[in-house]
């Protein structure tokens, strides 16, 4: 982390009930402040608890192309905020990927990742930190990187950073499906999206499939046609390798198109409630993300 940017202390969690019914205790926060040591076990910053998949999530879910992890937690402390609530504050060392994500106004809040029995000590330790748009804890700071501080800035100006030293970031492109349809649509249900895709792509795919069928038929006819009447009794010539390869590729392409059509048909019949896997849903204190607060 030498030479990296540093933020001022930011609230990353607060003592009390979370919005989904779990609890961050005074003891949790006290333990984290007492035990956190980045030299012993440093907490890295990731996107939406995706860990090593943070780069993929940023690119495919937020349209921001960044390499992966977003930085490190340098230190932590705790004190009461203006509402008298004890909050956990952290100094962060963000990297350029974090700055790029924030410039796109994505994942602007925090969610801590903890282990309540770290190395068998019985104490809570901060093992990681996620940035997200849907924090479980209340009173987390909204992160906002700015090129200069303003006295009348109504947002939390966390850091003065020379953005000129960072590589220029391209304006995020619209998602593929939004570019596909002519008008802007609100968030669609899965079955509505499948119907829209079928309307937009169904006819071109069907036409392409028909042309493939026609071309394949012509190739089959060509490969079996006798050269002339004088060669009817001659030994049939071996089919050229290039022609065989082309026929195989056309057959493979047609199979892929048929599979895509089948998926569209299944998507139209799939209820909206079946689109989320059960193991991705929050399951209280025993769930996959029970220690992500």
Beta-sheet pairing, 23-24 with 16-17: antiparallel
For the chain, the average pLDDT equals 73
Contacts for 223 with CB less than 8 Å, ≥ 6 apart: 239, 243, 247
pLDDT digits (tens, 9 = 90+) for 64-116: 667 778 899 999 999 999 999 999 999 999 988 888 888 888 888 999 999 99
Average pLDDT over residues 163-182: 46
pLDDT digits (tens, 9 = 90+) for 11-30: 999 999 999 999 999 999 99
Q: What is the per-residue pLDDT for 283?
A: 46
Least confident residue range of 19-33, 193-207, 243-257: 193-207
Burial 245-284 (b: 16+ CB within 10 A, else e): eebeeeeeebeeeeeebeebeebeeeeeeeeeeeeeeeee
Average pLDDT over residues 42-50: 88
Beta-sheet pairing, 71-80 with 16-17: unpaired
Q: Report how far residue 230's alpha carbon sits from residue 179's, in angstroms, rounded to the nearest whole number.
A: 59
> Is-above-0.75 flag for pTM?
no
Q: What is the per-residue pLDDT for 282?
A: 45
Report the percentage of the chain scoring pLDDT > 70. Answer: 54
């Amino acid at each position: 982390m030498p030479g990296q940017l540093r933020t001022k202390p930011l609230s990353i969690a607060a003592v009390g009930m979370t919005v989904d019914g779990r609890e961050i205790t005074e003891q949790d926060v006290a333990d984290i402040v007492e035990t956190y040591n980045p030299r012993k076990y440093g907490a890295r910053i990731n996107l939406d608890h995706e860990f090593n998949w943070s780069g993929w999530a940023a690119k495919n879910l937020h349209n921001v192309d960044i390499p992966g992890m977003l930085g490190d937690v340098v230190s932590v402390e705790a004190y009461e905020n203006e509402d008298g609530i004890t909050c956990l504050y952290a100094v962060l060392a963000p990297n350029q990927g974090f700055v790029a994500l924030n410039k796109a106004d994505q994942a602007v809040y925090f969610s801590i990742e903890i282990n309540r029995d770290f190395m068998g000590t019985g104490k809570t330790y901060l093992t990681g930190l996620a940035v997200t748009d849907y924090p479980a804890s209340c009173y987390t700071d909204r992160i906002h990187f700015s090129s200069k501080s303003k006295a009348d800035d109504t947002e939390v100006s966390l850091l003065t950073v020379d953005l000129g030293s960072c590589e220029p970031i391209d304006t995020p492109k619209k998602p593929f499906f939004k570019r596909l349809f002519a008008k802007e649509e609100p968030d669609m249900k899965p079955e509505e999206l499948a119907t829209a895709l079928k309307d937009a792509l169904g006819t071109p795919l069907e036409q392409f499939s028909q042309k493939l069928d026609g071309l394949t038929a012509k190739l089959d006819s060509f490969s079996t046609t006798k050269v002339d009447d004088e060669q009817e009794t001659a030994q049939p010539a071996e089919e050229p390798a290039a022609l065989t390869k082309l026929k195989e590729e056309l057959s493979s392409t047609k199979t892929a198109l048929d599979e895509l059509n089948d998926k569209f048909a299944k998507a139209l019949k799939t209820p909206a409630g079946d689109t989320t896997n059960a193991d991705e849903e929050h399951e209280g204190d025993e769930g996959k993300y029970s220690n992500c607060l």
